[in-house]
Chain A
Amino acid sequence: GAVVSQHPSRVICKSGTSVKIECRSLDFQATTMFWYRQFPKKSLMLMATSNEGSKATYEQGVEKDKFLINHASLTLSTLTVTSAHPEDSSFYICSASGQGVVANQPQHFGDGTRLSIL
């Protein structure tokens, strides 16, 4: 149980392109989804937290107009990197957490999207 699917796993595109990454919870309802960025050999850096039907909460230093997050349903959140540039190249990972009968559920992670901007 608790499977999170992230798509695509790899994207290579030209500078100036906008890229959309999808994150789906396959077997549970995700009341909260998170987006992280990870640099090589580093831990995960939280970019934003989104609750279904609400605007995302961005961490300090993360440009909300650059990284658009939509959490339109309890099973889907999307991250759009707008007008991507080479410095946006990174490993982006989503996670999802449900609040079912038992509160304070742990986060379950997708397999990440490796984004390369040429």
Chain B
Amino acid sequence: QKEVEQDPGPLSVPEGAIVSLNCTYSNSAFQYFMWYRQYSRKGPELLMYTYSSGNKEDGRFTAQVDKSSKYISLFIRDSQPSDSATYLCATFTGGGNKLTFGTGTQLKVEL
């Protein structure tokens, strides 16, 4: 079993839809959670960074962490074609900052 599980997709939605991306993890020592967006042939771009359980909102993006069920989510409201990318969840325990990634979910927002 992988430490972080993420559905690879691809996920295709119409423009304007609400997108829900999810990851589960198995190691309760993971304390910090991130969502990265990666466009083709580019490095990952940090979208959200959270520590505690609960919601964190930034514009059209909301990150949700539920440590009791080891479940993390990213919601994208009013999705745009420019949101088409691969979304990677990542987590680490702290200290050495070594990340554990999900496999990434490929998202396509269609006109």
Whether A104 contacts B32 in the complex (CB less than 8 A), given A109-B43, A111-B43, comes out as yes
Q: Which of B56-64, B67-75, B76-84, B97-105 contacts A (4 or more CB under 8 A)?
A: B97-105
* B43 close to A114 (CB less than 8 A): no
Main secondary structure of the interface of A (DSSP, over half): strand
Contact of A107 among B42, B99, B104 (CB under 8 A): B99
Which A residues are in CB contact (< 8 Å) with B45? 109
Q: Which of A13-21, A43-51, A62-70, A78-86 contacts B (4 or more CB under 8 A)?
A: A43-51
* B98 close to A46 (CB less than 8 A): yes
Whether a CB of chain A sits under 8 angstroms from the CB of B34 is yes
* B104 close to A97 (CB less than 8 A): no
Measured CB to CB, the residues of B under 8 A from A are: 31-32, 34, 36, 41-46, 49, 51, 88, 92, 94-99, 101-104
Measured CB to CB, the residues of A under 8 A from B are: 2, 4, 6, 32, 34, 42-44, 46, 49, 91, 93, 95, 97, 103-112, 114
